Copies of this chain bind each other. A is one copy, B any other.
Amino acid sequence: MTAETVLREKIATCTRIFAMQQMIGLFGHISAFDPATGRIYMCPGMGVQKATVADGDVLALDLEGQVLDGDARIPAEWPIHTVLHGKRKDALAVAHLHAPAATLFSLVDRAFRPVTLQGCIFADGVPLYDQPRLVRTVEQGRELAGVIGDGRAALMRGHGIVVVGRDVEEMLLGALILEDEVRKWAEASSLGTVRPFSEAEARSFDAASDFQRRSHRCWDYFCEIEQRWDRQPGTGRAGFA
């Protein structure tokens, strides 16, 4: 298979997995970058059925956001993807999601910290892009990319999240973990004061060293579940942990 075939298939599959997990819905979009050709592969934008996206629905763009191939709607916030793919060699996959749990941390006056061992891939925390607007221009995309820095993710105030990975598998697992961290913090806080891991604790666990291997196992696991999913609106969302 060519790189293009592989990336189209991964983006389509990952889109359906996020749909199953109810993390992408009406508004989210994801992409992967092929550095050899400078092409970005991206799922279609607002209103498209994410649960049934096929390889052929995936758009190809260049780094300026010009659609090279495909006639689906390009997401209005394409600069999130183009700027990150252009700027970071280790951000070959990018997700922008209005994830129902992870987004919650963008609404409050507290900084995200990991609360589980898995969450320690976010040992530095997750910064907040605080602008109350969409990211529709390259300038705005740069501002967002500046907030992310060389991190794995950012929260976007009252809006959603961005997660990057070295490949689609890492991007998927990173997003699943962030979603799970915030859900757990929100639910646990009624039991007592939540004790997130300190930066030193999180670093000493060294979740990052094993992350790529784990992300590939997680990918296989969710691909199998996605294949047996019957596409009913409420029968998705497999338990993660």
Whether, in the assembled complex, A189 has its beta carbon less than 8 Å from a beta carbon of chain B, the answer is: yes
Interface 1/0 per residue, A165-179 and B, CB below 8 Å: 000000000000000
State the majority secondary structure of interface residues on A: loop
Give the complex CA separation of A238 and B105 in angstroms.
Answer: 22
Whether, in the assembled complex, A68 has its beta carbon less than 8 Å from a beta carbon of chain B, the answer is: no
Copies of the protein in its oligomer: 4
Interface 1/0 per residue, A23-67 and B, CB below 8 Å: 111111000000000000000001111010000000000000000
Min distance, Cβ A81 to any Cβ of chain B, angstroms: 19
Q: Which of A182, A214, A221 has the most CB of B within 10 A?
A: A221
Interface residues of A (CB under 8 A from B): 19-20, 22-28, 46-49, 51, 98-101, 103-105, 107-110, 114-117, 119, 132-134, 157-160, 182, 184-195, 197, 201, 204-205, 214, 217-218, 220-221, 224-225, 228-241
